[in-house]
Homo-oligomer: A and B are copies of this chain.
């Protein structure tokens, strides 16, 4: 009880510090990062956004943000630094590489790690940052680019109460729902991994189902209408099948994201000596799509793997 009260007291102090410091860094201005940065701007934060690509920086400047090239510059003087990069290697680079942010963060600053990583990564990295007094919030996100831009993400948070306290004002600006999954980093990424297993399998299953429907000569919009009102529905079926019905494979989220995320699922399961045959089968479908040159296309492109094999007719844009 005493320890809890003390922690709460410390949390309160940090929260007040954070509330007084409206400077926040966002590293990675891709489709999710730019949305997070814009949501923070909208809520009155002083946001420095870093990206290696000048076009992304320019886009952020035009949205009224302060764009910088190096992670270190985004972190200087910030109370919270969001990392919205693609994977653990990039996360390491923006922290500890040349021009990295770790050295620029003052003690008490919180590093909010949003990317999907193996659950073994956050505790390891949190320990490295703890040496400098920097807090780590394991904070994978869900919701897609539209919700990111609207400040309505879901955060699967895990970390020390002080890390949550320091991140709280900024999180409130970017998320509709912040789950507090554990009081140590790691379980946030583990729950995200479970989510990505399901999401990946559901996209592959939706693709397989719609491809078979086409092969059976069914009217695809009718199939969509019936399934979304039946027990075969999934969030991904409902969200991705319209891309197939419109023949629109412009990437909202790319095939390569799932070769990566199902790769993390399969690797992490194997490291735990645990079989995941369904996720394994789904990963192979995404790999087939990537092998066929669709890696940067929308992830609903898995349906075009079946098309390539079986010559089914699918809707096209025009």
> Chain A: residues with CB nearer than 8 A to chain B?
119, 142-144, 154, 156, 177, 179, 181, 187, 190-191, 193-199, 201-202, 204-206, 208-213, 215-219, 222-223, 225-227, 229-237, 239, 265, 268-269, 272-282, 284-285, 306, 309-310
Nearest residue, chain B, Cβ from A282: B278
Q: Are B216 and A181 in contact (CB under 8 A)?
A: no
Known: A232-B236, A277-B281, A281-B281. 8 other contacts (CB 8 A): A179-B225, A179-B229, A187-B216, A197-B205, A198-B233, A199-B231, A232-B235, A277-B284
Given known pairs A179-B226, A226-B156, A232-B195, the reply for A215 and B278 (CB within 8 Å) is no
A205 to B216, CA, bound (A): 25
Q: Are A227 and B198 in contact (CB under 8 A)?
A: yes
A244 to chain B, nearest CB (A): 13
Nearest residue, chain B, Cβ from A269: B212
Given known pairs A181-B226, A198-B232, A237-B198, the reply for A285 and B274 (CB within 8 Å) is no
Given known pairs A197-B205, A212-B274, A277-B281, the reply for A154 and B218 (CB within 8 Å) is no
Q: How would you classify the secondary structure of chain A's contact residues: helix, strand, loop or mixed?
A: helix
Which chain B residues border A210 with CB–CB below 8 Å?
194
How many of these chains are in the complex? 2
Q: Are B306 and A222 in contact (CB under 8 A)?
A: no
Which chain B residues border A195 with CB–CB below 8 Å?
226-227, 230-232
Within 8 Å by CB of A229, from B177, B202, B310, lies: B177
A223 to B196, CA, bound (A): 12
Which chain B residues border A237 with CB–CB below 8 Å?
198, 234
Given known pairs A154-B230, A181-B222, the reply for A209 and B197 (CB within 8 Å) is yes
| Leading 4 A-B pairs by shortest Cβ distance | A198-B232, A234-B234, A195-B232, A281-B281
Given known pairs A276-B212, A285-B278, the reply for A142 and B230 (CB within 8 Å) is yes
6 cross-chain CB contacts under 8 A: A191-B218, A193-B216, A195-B232, A197-B205, A215-B269, A277-B281
Which chain B residues border A143 with CB–CB below 8 Å?
230-231
Q: Are A232 and B281 in contact (CB under 8 A)?
A: no
A230 to B196, CA, bound (A): 10
A154 to chain B, nearest CB (A): 6
Given known pairs A232-B235, A272-B215, A309-B275, the reply for A202 and B199 (CB within 8 Å) is no
A163 to chain B, nearest CB (A): 18
Within 8 Å by CB of A216, from B119, B177, B235, B284, lies: B119
Q: Are B213 and A194 in contact (CB under 8 A)?
A: yes
A274 to B306, CA, bound (A): 8
